[in-house]
Amino acid sequence: MDSKFLKGKHIVLGICGGIAAYKSAALLRLLVKRGAEVQVIMTPAAKEFITPVTMSALSGKPVVSEFFTANSGEWHSHVDLGLWADLMVIAPATASTLAKMACGVADNMLVTTYLSAREHVIVAPAMDLDMFAHPSTRRNLDTLRSYGVQVIEPASGELASHLVGKGRMEEPERIVEIIEDYFRNVSLKSAPVQNRDFNGKKIAITAGPTYENIDPVRFIGNYSSGKMGFAIAAEFARRGAEVTLISGPVSLPTPEGVNRIDVRSACEMLKAAEGPMERCDYGIFAAAVADYRPANEAETKIKREGVSEMQINLVRNPDIAATCGARKKAGQLFVGFALETDKGLDAARAKLQRKNLDMVVLNTLADSGAGFGTDTNKVTIVTENSIIEFPLKSKQEVATDIIDSITQLNDA
C-alpha cells in the first residue's frame, strides 16, 4: 500500500548494534511497502544482531557497511549516499553511535554518511535505561538536537536486560508515522501557495489542554495534544492570515508565521483570548478547557501523612467559547469543537445555540483514529443549516476541510 508521502522517497536506514536491530527489519519492510527506496547501512556491530542478507532481501539493495568491498576494492561513497538521501533514519541508534555523531568521529560508514547527509536526520535511540539516563547520553542527544537532528524518544518498558525503564526503541509502526509526518510537512511547506484567500484576515485560535493547579506540584489536566488547533493555525497562516494562537501546555513547535501566546489554566486562557477574539474576523475554539478547577490552590505541597481520605473542592471554570460568543460582533464567525461519546449531533447543535457559534466540528471518541493525541481525525461539520460528514483524515487535511467549510459558510 503506497503512501502519498513516502512513495519514491530515498531513505538511508542506519542500523546500529543493539537487540532492537531485529525491529529494523519490520521498519524496513513497512517503508518499502509504502513505496520508499531504502538503502541500509549497518555498523559492524549491527551485523552481530541481524544479518545483512535479511536486510538486503527486504530492501532489494546490497547493504553497505564497509568503506570498500573486500575483494574488488570498490569504494562506497558516503558522500553520494548522503546526497542521494531525502532522509536519514538511524534505528536503533546506540549510545556509542550517538556519541560519535555528536563528536564527528567518522570511523565507520554510518557515521561518515551522517556527516555527509544534507537532508533531515531522525534517530530512534535504544539502550539500557541507565545508559539512556547517563548524563553523557543526555548531553549527546542535546548536542544532536542542536544540530537539527530529530530524536524519537524511546518508550518505557521491559528492556533486553529485563530491567524496566526508558530505553526501548519506539515501535516500527510509530517510526513510520513520524517519517510520514516529516515528509507531509515538507510537502506542505513546499506546496505553492496558490490560495492566499485569508490575506489580511485576523484569526484567533485556542488550542491544547488547560492545567488547573492543585498545589505547586500537582494539577488537573487532560490528554489533549493541541495537534488539531495547531494544524488549523498552520493552515490559516499558509493561506495568508494573521494568526494568534492561544495555547495550553503542549509539546508542539509553533507553526511558521503564527503568533503564539502560552497559557496554563482556563482563567489564564480566557484572559489571553479575550482581546484577540474581540479583534479577529474568525475565532476558533479548539482548546480542551477543564470544566472545573480546585477552589483553592494550596501554597505548599499537600502532604499525605495522617490523611486517609481527601476531597478537592472544585469550582466551575469560565466557558471561553460561550463568553466570547456572547460578545460576538456582526461580521465575526466563530467555530467550536465538540468531542462526544454519544448523541453527538444533538450536542453539537445545542452548542451552536448555547455558545453563539456559527459552526461546530464534532468528533466522536467512538471513531477509532479520532480525538485526543492521534494524528488523524474523523469529523462532522455542523452549522445551523447543514451537516457534513468527512472520512478519517490527517489533522492537516481536516484543518483544510474546516477552513474550506468556513469559506463556504462565508459565501453563503
Among 63, 91, 289, 406, binds ligand C5P (CB under 6 A): 289
- Of 66-74, 148-156, 331-339, 379-387: span binding ligand C5P (CB under 6 A): 331-339
Give residue 363's identity as a one-letter amino acid code.
Answer: N
The residue (of 233 and 289) whose beta carbon lies closer to ligand C5P is 289
As a whole number of angstroms, the distance between CA 389 and CA 361 comes to: 10
Backbone CA torsion sign across 204, 207, 212, 215:
negative
The residue (of 97 and 317) whose beta carbon lies closer to ligand C5P is 317
Look up 296 and say whether it is catalytic: no
The residue (of 65 and 317) whose beta carbon lies closer to ligand C5P is 317
Options 185, 213, 222, 356, the catalytic residue: 222
Backbone CA torsion sign across 400, 401, 404, 406:
negative
Candidates 294, 228, 220, 302; CA nearest to 264 is 220
Among 50, 117, 338, 379, binds ligand C5P (CB under 6 A): 338
Candidates 79, 89, 105; CA nearest to 9 is 89
The residue (of 297 and 319) whose beta carbon lies closer to ligand C5P is 319
Among 23, 78, 120, 351, binds ligand C5P (CB under 6 A): 351
Candidates 240, 247, 176; CA nearest to 207 is 247
Tell me which residues in 173-212 interact with ligand C5P (CB under 6 A).
Answer: 206
CB 193 within 8 A of CB 271: no
246 binds ligand C5P (CB under 6 A): no
Q: What is the DSSP letter of 385?
A: S
Among 266, 382, 402, 403, binds ligand C5P (CB under 6 A): 266
Query: Using alpha carbons only, what angle is made at residue 312 by residues 307 and 318, rounded to the nearest 5 degrees?
Result: 165
Among 198, 337, 352, 370, binds ligand C5P (CB under 6 A): 337
As a whole number of angstroms, the distance between CA 61 and CA 11 comes to: 12
336 binds ligand C5P (CB under 6 A): yes
The residue (of 84 and 292) whose beta carbon lies closer to ligand C5P is 292
Candidates 396, 355, 394; CA nearest to 378 is 394
Give catalytic residues, as residue numbers: 222
Binding site for ligand C5P (CB under 6 A): 206, 266, 285-287, 289, 317, 319-321, 336-338, 351
